[in-house]
Structure 1
Amino acid sequence: MAAVSRRCGTSEPPVTLGLPLPPVEPPADCEECAQRAIERAEAKHVGDLARAIDMTVLIKRHHPQGPA
């Protein structure tokens, strides 16, 4: 029995990822976001990147328009 040769692949080009965005800085007058920024820094320090990302998301959600 002859071996069947098949080409595996895709017709789509590879995905190109950009550089990560800079961290979101909380507004200076928001105590809640300042605390989240501290928690984010502590999480990064201990290598808990999931928690650090969670804090960034919470800051973005609290100020969706960005710092005032």
Structure 2
Amino acid sequence: MAVPKSKISKSRRGQRRSHDSLSVDKYVEDQESGELRRRHHIDLSTGKYRGRQILEPSDNY
């Protein structure tokens, strides 16, 4: 059975767990439409990504 050799302090335990927290998604304003969208994702309202038409424009989003 595994037994720790020494006690892990609350500080050290917290430093290890600090990387496990969830981050909030970053949003940027689209240059063409002015709407908020996630970085490196297709703008669903216009269907464009990096100036190129990828999808059909949709009014649902």
Q: TM-score range by the shorter chain?
A: under 0.3
Q: Which has the higher contact order (CA 8 A, sep 6+)?
A: 1
Higher strand share: 2
Please report the TM-score for the alignment, with normalisation by the length of structure 2: 0.24
